[in-house]
Amino acid sequence: MKKIGIIFGGRSGEHSISLMSAASVIRAINKDKFQIVKIGITKEGKWLLYDGDADHVEDGTWQEEAEKALKENPDKYNITILGAGGKSIKELIDFALPILHGPYGEDGTVQGLLEMADIPYGGCGITGSAIAMDKLIAREIFMRAGIPVCKHIAVFKEELDNDFQKTIEKIEENLPYPVFVKPANMGSSVGITKAKSNEELKHALKEAMKYDRRLIIEEYINCRELETAVVGNFYAEAAAVGEILPSAEFYDYEAKYFDGGKSKICIPADIPQKTADEIREIAVKAYKLIDCAGFSRVDFFLEKETNKIYLNEINTIPGFTKFSMFPLLWEEAGVSCPDIIERIVELGYERYHAKDNR
């Protein structure tokens, strides 16, 4: 039986979402085929071995239990990633499944550690993870490939620190209100604000700078929010297209995870088949373009007035919570959550063994 290391938590602002996703994966994974090894990362970056219940992963109490177990039995619970100082993760697991959202996990950093430790893992490699996480770089690549993206400009913290007012003026000269202000490296709508005025823009920039020194200022599009789920390595396929009907003005962090199910997910989206096929085609093209692997969720805007499609972003470790689009899209296609997890593991091994042919 393969020992699958579920890695969760992490240092990013999406720590709590990672806990929710990981708990769902732990509950769903086929226990007859896989032995689960739970590895948590605290907000401070400490790696802990945890052998308790999934419910305690979700509510965050896993950390206290894991730290207590480590103190009482260091020989069993002291672990290390690389080098000495404890039992190596490579000894504990056969395969890693990072369920980490945002920086320090979804951005290629943990993938690099697993590559160095020679541990096969699920999902995108270093390159695909890093590019998809960095929305500025990803958009440059998409634009060069002729994939439509929203009009946007980049702003850097150093610019704002040097001359905040001049930077505001630059934004206002290039984009009309309202605008969206986003950290370049973040997910789950963390740090994103819709600004309708000069004062709101100032506040939005300060909020986004809490999460990144590189920001995207993006034009507002009167649109529908559509998503599809892609699975595969070189040969990838997209599931159906789903639509988000947010409970808030846009699909922000609260609307995604903490509105008690008021936001609605429509699967399949009520759009023409031709539009759905085009979205799925663009999703796979973009996925392969930045060297994604394993699985991802690809997000789009569909402009209401023109039906023009815009690629928003690729999420290389999409949410697996009960509100999450990725597993729901594949369930609609007849693929259960345990089966899609098993497929992700298979694809991880496929990618790992492909290196033997180099």
Q: How far apart are CA 9 and CA 43, in angstroms?
A: 7
What's at 285, amino acid-wise? K
- Residue 247 has a pLDDT of 62
Average pLDDT over all residues of the chain = 92
163 pLDDT more than 60: yes
Q: How far apart are CA 143 and CA 99, in angstroms?
A: 29
**Residue 78 falls inside a structural domain:** yes
**Residue 176 falls inside a structural domain:** yes
- Residue 185 has a pLDDT of 83
**Residue 308 falls inside a structural domain:** yes
Residue 209 is part of which domain span? 152-219
78 closest CA partner among 100, 104, 69: 69
What pTM was computed for the model? 0.90
- Where are the strands (E) in the chain, listed by range? 2-9, 34-41, 47-50, 79-80, 87-88, 95-99, 152-156, 179-183, 193-195, 214-219, 223-232, 236-245, 264-266, 294-303, 309-315
Q: Could you say which of 201, 219, 237 is where a domain stops?
A: 219
* Claim to verify: residue 183 and residue 203 sit in the same structural domain: yes
Q: How far apart are CA 182 and CA 193, in angstroms?
A: 7
CATH code for position 157? 3.30.1490.20
Q: Could you say which of 200, 219, 238 is where a domain stops?
A: 219
- In sequence order, the 6+-apart residues with CB closer than 8 A to the CB of 150 are 218, 219, 221, 301, 310, 312
* Claim to verify: residue 64 and residue 205 sit in the same structural domain: no
121 closest CA partner among 355, 320, 350, 357: 350
* Claim to verify: residue 142 and residue 285 sit in the same structural domain: yes
* Claim to verify: residue 189 and residue 77 sit in the same structural domain: no
**Largest separation between any pair of C-alpha atoms in the chain:** 63
**Residue 140 falls inside a structural domain:** yes
In this prediction, residues 7-25 reach a mean pLDDT of 94
* Claim to verify: residue 138 and residue 246 sit in the same structural domain: yes
**Residue 330 falls inside a structural domain:** yes
* Claim to verify: residue 214 and residue 250 sit in the same structural domain: no
* Claim to verify: residue 286 and residue 322 sit in the same structural domain: yes
- CA 47, chain centre distance (Å): 20
- Residue 251 has a pLDDT of 47
CATH code for position 333? 3.30.470.20
* Claim to verify: residue 81 and residue 16 sit in the same structural domain: yes
- Tell me the per-residue pLDDT of 51-89, one tens digit each, with 9 for 90 and over: 999 999 999 999 999 999 999 999 999 998 876 677 899
* Claim to verify: residue 214 and residue 227 sit in the same structural domain: no
* Claim to verify: residue 116 and residue 164 sit in the same structural domain: no
Instruction: Report residue 282 as tokens.
Output: 């663009």
- Tell me the per-residue pLDDT of 251-307, one tens digit each, with 9 for 90 and over: 445 545 445 556 789 999 999 999 999 999 999 999 999 999 999 999 999 999 999
358 pLDDT more than 60: no
- Residue 211 has a pLDDT of 86
Is the bond preceding 178 in cis, omega lying within 30 degrees of 0? yes
* Claim to verify: residue 33 and residue 108 sit in the same structural domain: yes
C-alpha separations of 218 from 186, 250, 303 in Å: 15, 14, 14
C-alpha separations of 284 from 238, 258, 267 in Å: 7, 30, 19
- Tell me the per-residue pLDDT of 306-352, one tens digit each, with 9 for 90 and over: 999 999 999 999 999 878 999 999 999 899 999 999 999 999 999 99
Q: How far apart are CA 157 and CA 212, in angstroms?
A: 8
**Residue 127 falls inside a structural domain:** no
**Residue 54 falls inside a structural domain:** yes
Q: Could you say which of 219, 249, 278 is where a domain stops?
A: 219
- Residue 149 has a pLDDT of 97
Among 166-170, 207-211, 312-316, the least confident range: 207-211
- Residue 254 has a pLDDT of 54
Burial class (CB in 10 A: 0-12, 13-18, 19+), 119: buried
> Per the structure, how many domains does the chain have?
3
**Residue 168 falls inside a structural domain:** yes
The three-point CA angle 44-50-53 to 5° equals: 120
What's at 85, amino acid-wise? G
233 pLDDT more than 80: yes
Burial class (CB in 10 A: 0-12, 13-18, 19+), 215: buried
The three-point CA angle 138-143-147 to 5° equals: 100
* Claim to verify: residue 80 and residue 180 sit in the same structural domain: no
CATH code for position 53? 3.40.50.20
